[in-house]
Amino acid sequence: MHWHSKPLPEADKIKALQLAIGVSFEIASLLVQRGIDDYESAKNFFRPELKDLHDPFLMLGMTAAVNRIKTAIDKHEKIMVYGDYDVDGTTSVSLVYSYLFKQLPDVIYYIPDRYDEGYGISIKGIDKAKEQNVSLIIALDCGIKAVDQVAYAKSLMIDFIICDHHLPGDQLPEAIAVLDPKQPACSYPYKELCGCGIGFKLLQALEKEKGKPVESLLPYIDLVAMAIAADIVPITGENRILIFYGLIQINENPRIGILSFINTLKKKLTVSDLVFVIAPRINGAGRIKHGSFAVELLLTEEEDQALARGRAIELINSERRELDKKITQQALDQIKQNEEETCFSSVVFQPDWHKGVIGIVASRLIEVYYRPTVVFAASGDCLAGSVRSVKGVDVYEVLEACKEHIIQFGGHMYAAGLTIKPEALSSFKKAFESEVERIITPDQRIPSIQYDLEISLDKITPKFFKTISQMRPFGPRNMQPVFLTKNCKDNGKTSVVGNDQSHLRLDIKDASEKNIFGIGFGMANHISKIKSQKPFDLIYTIEENEFRGLVSLQLKVKDLRV
């Protein structure tokens, strides 16, 4: 890996923050790097408060949305809550549906089928609404570009309220209200909410209209935390407040549907657990079966039902993992067989691959072959592809350059989807490789890692770790701090560990003579060089390790150089 340091902030700013809040130079540096440079911003960062959430009525369209929902409740209209099949969509639907159901029993929800209907608002979903005598659809985590679909619904006398967080197109749908802070005319102060976050702001507005405080929504805030974590949105501003209180809710009063997943962890949940334990199970339903499985689980209030649905989701997730593992290995074999054809990209296809896991597989392939990757699966008479990229390479632009071989595509810089005709696979593969070769730089072909600060090991104290822990929840724009320490040496007890002896258990010290242990997963190949007493450099995070009731600090090594 390439190692890069984050720019060190101006010394004057670091010193001023040190004096203002009484922390070490290292902690002040970490905070200023994150844009926290005075007492007030530090207070808001370390002690998030619900009262600091913005007034929901600052969001363009909120008044119209609230008035339309109030009318629907007063007149006992039937409402459909419509959402996407991923974590953000299914938590959004669970959030708004469960809130409205307490006031209007005649409310239904709808999740489109990933394969039959695809992403976003479908004509099939609107027809279902008409069949059920629905007069208002509240769309969550989708709809900002559904101009034709909303027009079709309007022709059927069905109104729409759209709650989305994606970038709008040139034309907005003719909905009763469009709630999206990213629309040009919206002056809402925070632009980074996920779809479930927009849904929460709608509920906050409905509660405010009744004279109730935002605290009345705490039983629902766990759903928002799951969505924020899974959708990889910045953990800043309102997202930080929402996920902070959402994690408290999950840990202190978890909803019965996810209790079985939580119990297996036997510890307080973190953002990482939401991303790697809860989210894959909720996502797996939409990938392998149907997103409604996830909504049913999240809405469950009966223990027996929760256990049965939890087991079903667990089985779906096991199937997803097996498919992921099998297809990844088949794809790796393909790449190896065709090494002479492609050097700058990977494009693979097999007719029997499951469309629901090709995005995951593309990400796995990049972990082995660090280059822009497309994984195709059969989809009706066409091939559906999932694209993932490496740092600095815009695959959306690459696809734009290859569009003569593509039926349709969409996405953004690092992830995209496309559809091609089977006979276009060979020509697309050549065009994709050629365009990636044209734009990629030598540096972009090697993985890189960025660290926050260089420190000596004697800086790692319980007080230092406690302060870093108070910077949680970690996530985009507030990642767990990463450190560099140079000229470390084996202290005598470094060894290889693990069932397959592939991991490195480090016992080291540096020039400060501080001794500390660390773990380097998959780094056993470094053992002989470390035992030779040659000095080496480490990039790592700091974590607590509990062994036989004793808690100590250890390094979680991310990379090592002798």
Burial bucket for residue 551 (CB in 10 Å: 0-12, 13-18, 19+): exposed
Strand boundaries in 99-200, DSSP class E: 107-110, 136-140, 159-163, 177-179
Q: Please check whether residues 250 and 363 belong to one and the same domain.
A: no
What's the pLDDT at 341?
Answer: 66
pLDDT at 504 over 80: yes
- Do residues 435 and 459 both lie within one domain? no
Tokens of 453: 């600060």
Region 180-199 average pLDDT: 96
| Inside any domain, residue 25 | no
Of 244, 240, 246, the closest CA to residue 193 belongs to 240
- Domain end position, chosen among 445, 463, 478: 445
Number of domains in the chain: 3
pLDDT at residue 342 in the model: 66
- 39 located within any domain: no
d(Cα 412, Cα 142) in Å, to the nearest integer? Answer: 16
Tell me if 1 is assigned to some domain: no
What's the rounded mean pLDDT across residues 294-307?
90
d(CA 158, CA 152): 9
Interacting residues of 549 by C-beta distance below 8 A, sequence separation 6+: none
Burial of 12 (0-12, 13-18, 19+ CB in 10 A): exposed
Same domain, residue pair 403 and 459: no
Q: Rounded to an integer, what distance in angstroms lies between the CA atom of residue 224 and that of residue 238?
A: 11
State mean pLDDT over 442-462: 94
CA 165 to CA 288: how far, in whole Å? Answer: 25
Concatenating the DSSP letter of every residue in 70-111 gives HHHHHTT--EEEEE-SSHHHHHHHHHHHHHHHTT-SSEEEE-
- Mean pLDDT confidence for 498-509: 92
Grouping H, G, I as helix, E, B as strand and the rest as coil, residue 139 is: strand
Nearest to 190 by CA among 93, 52, 37, 39: 52
Written as one string, the DSSP assignment of 400-438 is HHTGGG-SEEEE-SSEEEEEE-GGGHHHHHHHHHHHHHH
Q: Are residues 471 and 440 in the same domain?
A: no
Share of the chain above pLDDT 90, in %: 75
When the pLDDT of each residue in the chain is averaged and rounded to a whole number, the result is 93
- Assess whether 266 and 198 both reside in one domain: yes
Q: What is the mean pLDDT of residues 10-32?
A: 95
Q: In the structure, what pLDDT confidence band is assigned to residue 116 with cuts at 50, 70 and 90?
A: confident
Q: What is the CATH number of the domain that holds 502?
A: 2.40.50.460
Per-residue pLDDT at 68: 98
Whether residues 61 and 206 share a domain: the answer is yes
pLDDT at 548 over 80: no
Where residue 260 sits, what CATH number does that domain have? 3.90.1640.30
* 550 in the same domain as 410: no
Residue 26 has pLDDT above 70, yes or no: yes
Give the Cα separation of 557 and 562 in Å (integer).
14
As beta bridge partners, residue 495 has 505
**pLDDT above 90 for 413:** no
What is the reported pLDDT for 223?
Answer: 97
Which is nearest to 485 in space by CA: 515, 505, 462? 515
- pLDDT (0 to 100) of residue 259: 85
Q: Which domain holds residue 265?
A: 56-305
**Of 1-10, 24-33, 173-182, 208-217, minimum mean pLDDT range:** 1-10
499/131: higher pLDDT: 131
pLDDT for 466 equals 95
**Model confidence, pTM:** 0.89
CATH of the domain at 405: 3.10.310.30
| pLDDT, tens digit (0-9, with 9 covering 90-100), for 320-330 | 899 999 999 99
Dump pLDDT digits (tens) for 231-246: 889 999 999 999 999 9
Question: Does position 104 have pLDDT exceeding 80, yes or no?
Answer: yes
